[in-house]
Amino acid sequence: MATIDKISAILNTKIEIPFKIKARESIHTNPFKDSKFDGKILPADIFEGSELKSQNKAKMVLSAIAGSVSNFSKKFVEPVAAFCKNIKEKTLSKCSSAWNYLNTTTLSDLGHSITDLGHSITEKVSTMRKNAEMKKISDTTPTTELEALWKKENELILMEAA
Amino acid sequence: MNKKISQIIDALTTHPDSDSIRVLETLGTNSPDNDIREKTSRALVKKNVHDSLKVVIINEGKGINDLSPVVAMSTINEILALKDKTEVLHILEDTIKMHSNETVRENAASVKSLLAL
C-alpha cells in the first residue's frame, strides 16, 4: 500500500519540461531575482566595465569632433584657394588681352570704332523719336497735325529718293 | 508703303473731324504711290459720308476712275462691302444722270449694276 502511495505522490507532482518557454512576463523581470548573494556585498568595481565604456565613448566623441573640425578647415580652405586662383588667372588673362588690344590697335581703328558708336547712338535716337511720333498718331490727334506729319513724311521720302 | 503714312491714313479714316476728308483727298488721292492712293480711296469709302464718297466716284483719275486698275478695283470692292449703301447709290445715280464726262458716267453705271447683283 505504501508503495502505491509513493507512486501516486510521484504522479501527482508536476514535472517541468526543461526547454519550455516561460511566460512573457518573465522577460522584463529582475535579472538578479534568482541570484542569491547570501548577504555578500558586491564590490564597487563590479561595474568597472561600464565606466570604461563611458570613457571610450567620450574619447570617440572627442575624436569625431576633432576629425570634423579638421575636415571643415580643409573643406573651407580649398574652395577659397581655388576661388582666389581663378580670380588671379582671369585678371591676368583680361589684362593680357587688354594689353594685346592696345598693342595691336591703331589710332585709326579707334576712330572707326568711335564713329560706329556715334552712328549706333544716332540710329537709336532716331528710332526712339519715330516711336514717339507713332504713338502720337491716332484719331484723337488734330487733323492739322496729321496733315503736317504726312507732308513731312512726303518730304523725307522725296529727299531719300533724291 | 511707308508705315507712318499708313498709320496717318488709318487715323484719318476713323477721325470724327470732317476736315480729315480734305486731308485724305489732298495728300492721299493725289499721291504718286499706288499703295497710298489705294489705301486712301478705301479710307474715303469706309467713312461712308456724302463728301468722302463723292471724291472716289465723280473725280476723274481718283477712286473708281483711277488709272491704276488695282486702285479702281480695290475701291469698288470696298463700296460693295459697305453695309449701308444708301448714300453711295444716291451719288452713283446723280453721276450717271448729270456728270459731263462719259467715262465717269460709264464707271458709275458699272458699279451700280454690280451693286444691284
Tens digit of each residue's pLDDT (9 = 90 or more) over B86-115? 999 999 999 999 999 999 999 999 999 999
**What is the pLDDT confidence band of residue A53, given thresholds at 50, 70 and 90?**
low
What distance in Å separates the CA atoms of residue B3 and residue A149, rounded to the nearest whole number? Answer: 12
Q: What is the per-residue pLDDT for A161?
A: 82
CB contact (8 A) between residue A147 and residue B17: no
CB pairs under 8 A between A and B: 49
Query: pLDDT, tens digit, for every residue of A108-141?
Result: 666 777 778 888 888 887 777 777 766 678 888 8
Q: Which is nearest to A130 in space by CA: B1, B7, B9, B4?
A: B4
B32 touches A: beta carbon within 8 Å: no
Closest Cβ opposite residue A137 in set B7, B23, B26? B7
- The predicted model scores a pTM of 0.54
Q: Span B2-17, mean pLDDT?
A: 92
Q: What is the per-residue pLDDT for B74?
A: 95
Closest Cβ opposite residue B23 in set A133, A147, A153? A147
Whether B111 and B103 have beta carbons less than 8 Å apart is answered as: no
The CA distance from B33 to the nearest CA of chain A, in Å, is 11
**What is the pLDDT confidence band of residue A43, given thresholds at 50, 70 and 90?**
low
What angle separates helix B34-47 from helix B3-13, to the nearest 10 degrees? Answer: 10
Q: What is the per-residue pLDDT for B28?
A: 92
Q: Which residue has the cell 579638421?
A: A70
Q: What is the per-residue pLDDT for A18?
A: 61
CB contact (8 A) between residue A146 and residue B15: yes
Q: Span A37-55, mean pLDDT?
A: 57
Q: Span B41-53, mean pLDDT?
A: 94
B35 touches A: beta carbon within 8 Å: no
Find, in chain B, the residue whose alpha carbon is nearest to that of A140. B15
Q: What is the per-residue pLDDT for A126?
A: 76
Q: Span A30-38, mean pLDDT?
A: 64
What distance in Å separates the CA atoms of residue B37 and residue B15, rounded to the nearest whole number? Answer: 18
Q: What is the per-residue pLDDT for B19?
A: 93
Whether B111 and B73 have beta carbons less than 8 Å apart is answered as: no
Q: Return the ∠ at Cα B17 (arms to B12 and B20), rounded to 5°.
A: 40
Contact residues, chain B, for A142 at CB < 8 Å: 17
What distance in Å separates the CA atoms of residue B32 and residue A162, rounded to the nearest whole number? Answer: 15
**What is the pLDDT confidence band of residue A58, given thresholds at 50, 70 and 90?**
confident
Q: What is the per-residue pLDDT for A82?
A: 83
- Joined grid coordinates for residue A88: 588671379
Q: What is the per-residue pLDDT for B42?
A: 95
Tell me which of A43 and A108 has the higher pLDDT.
Answer: A108
Percent of chain A with pLDDT over 90: 6
Closest Cβ opposite residue B4 in set A139, A147, A153? A153
What distance in Å separates the CA atoms of residue B36 and residue A140, rounded to the nearest whole number? Answer: 22
Q: Where is average pLDDT lowest: A40-54, A96-110, A116-130, B4-18?
A: A40-54
Q: What is the per-residue pLDDT for B5?
A: 92
Contact residues, chain B, for A143 at CB < 8 Å: 12, 15, 17, 19-20, 23
Return left, alpha or beta for A42; rule: phi > 0 is left, psi -120 to 50 is alpha, else beta. Answer: beta
What distance in Å separates the CA atoms of residue B114 and residue B117, rounded to the nearest whole number? Answer: 5
Q: Span B13-34, mean pLDDT?
A: 92
